Structure 1
């Protein structure tokens, strides 16, 4: 099995096909064209075979651009990168990359061999209205300061200013869902948020945070620079075609516009 390249911190996209304006693989391909290199596949309501097929399609898009697919839950679906909920399992399974959702200091204290965490919600989120209370930038800063691993800020992050605030609070990057899924132009939105992250990295931060991996107590290793992404889709690297509305995977997996009565919720 090919080991995925460890993702660099930056803008990480969480999927939600019910909120996507276009078939999910097309949305992710557009986000990758805008500079995204890490994606967390959710879609936990799908049967495993369909979810694995979707993972294969998304992994091909990301691998062609040097990116990484992370699968929500303990089953990596043919890869070797997972993102686990705060509830477990403990200890985490052994994979090349393991992340976990956290929301407070107690959950951070339970970490063992995880490589990174998401902290949420930073802001109120349209994906999960009423979930919280929000940490706010100050709460994020306090938890980043005690986290033993790099942090991705998650929840209600939709604007360049919000990205910059999270990075200056010490986050290694931001995880976004609705900002990309609901975007009329995911390539432009991804490029805008990625550039905000890049510019924020040049500013003083509250904590030097590095790539997604366990932090060294002695020193932090700088992130590789993220180039300014082009808003033009790349002509190489990505797969030439993606599933369309007429494909069997699209039909089975509900790729396309959301069905409100079946909408899934954002990963905790």
Structure 2
């Protein structure tokens, strides 16, 4: 399983002077093979149009396209899977809708949420939030590295950490036993999404060699 996971943010990309398709293509060109399209503000039509453009890119590079929350969009695009949060459609219902062969990821924020999914038909977990981010000002729910490590020890599912992860701390994150790292601003907001992705992939590969 490729260990670097791009979660998109159009606003962050725009502020850095990029279009989202440009960011995704540059990340995939660098070796990213997991892309989650997360667009909370777009209309359904705009989401579908953007998703179709992103899917052409991910397919060209053999990357997984995961749609955040919107099962209808994932079905319409025939995406590789769906990622849902604790307040989204229940994952059991998502599985019924998208079938047994698609990928389902679920966000986990604490031990109670992890314990509640015992035996669930999930493919991976997104564990949040590790470090402070520009979009999360409330630090009371931050897991930190110790909290991340504790959750990773309690599950056999693949796990992706998310929240404030960048080239400076990604190797520390991987020391917790997590499967991979999901990043937003560190790629979408970087002057060169390609260079940012390549650097983090190299850091992950160095960690594997160690």
Distance change in 2, residues 1:132/1:98 (3 Å): farther
Select the structure with the greater relative contact order (CA < 8 A; seq sep ≥ 6). Answer: 1
Matched, 1:82 2:97: no
Aligned: 1:190 with 2:192: no
Q: Does the 8 Å CA contact 1:92/1:113 hold for their aligned counterparts? A: no
Give per-residue Cα distances to partners, 1:145-182, cap 9 Å, x unaligned.
002411101000012x4211122211110000010111
Q: Distance in 2 between matches of 1:110 and 1:92?
A: 16
Partner of 1:39: 35
Alpha-carbon shift at residue 198 of structure 1 (Å): 1.3
Task: Say whether 1:24 aligns with 2:20.
Answer: yes
TM-score after normalising by structure 2:
0.87
Residue in structure 1 matching 2:129, options 121, 136, 155: 121
Judged with a 3 Å threshold, the aligned counterparts in structure 2 of structure 1 residues 89 and 109 are, in CA distance, closer, same or farther, namely farther
| C-alpha contact 1:38 1:68 (8 A) present in aligned 2 | yes
Separation (CA, whole Å) in 2 of partners of 1:131 and 1:180 = 23
Structure 1, unaligned stretches of length 5 or more? 1-7, 204-268
1:168: which partner in 2?
Answer: 175
CA 132–72 in structure 1, closer or farther in 2 if over 3 Å, else same? farther
1:146 is paired with a residue whose SS is coil
**Counterparts in 2 of 1:48-59, with a 5 A limit?**
48-59=44-55
Number of equivalent positions: 195
Deviation of residue 131 (structure 1)?
Answer: 4.7
Q: Which residue of 2 aligns with 1:62?
A: 58
Report the Cα distance in structure 1 between the residues aligned to 2:65 and 2:159, rounded to whole angstroms: 18
Tell me if structure 2 keeps the 8 A contact 1:120–1:154. Answer: yes
How far 1:126 moved relative to its partner?
A: 1.7
Farther off after superposition, 182-191 or 82-91: 82-91
1:64 Cα deviation from its structure 2 partner: 0.4
Runs of 4+ in 1 over 6 A off after TM superposition: none
Aligned match of 1:139: 147
Deviations 1:108-163 (A, max 9, x none): 1222111101111111112322254321111110000002411101000012x421
CA distance in 2, matches of 1:24, 1:127: 18
Q: Secondary structure at the match of 1:36?
A: coil
Give me the whole-angstrom Cα distance separating, in 2, the residues matched to 1:69 and 1:80: 5
Unaligned runs of 5+ residues in structure 2 are none
What SS is found at the alignment partner of 1:93?
Answer: helix
SS of the equivalent of 1:12 reads strand
Aligned equivalent of 1:154, options 151, 162, 170: 162
Change (3 A) 1:34 1:172: same
Deviation of 1:92 after TM superposition, in Å, equals 4.2
Q: Distance in 2 between matches of 1:33 and 1:192?
A: 13
Contact kept? 1:71, 1:83, Cα under 8 Å:
yes
Q: 1:52 to 1:36 in 2, by over 3 A?
A: same
Structure with a larger share of its residues in helix = 2
Q: Distance in 2 between matches of 1:9 and 1:167?
A: 13
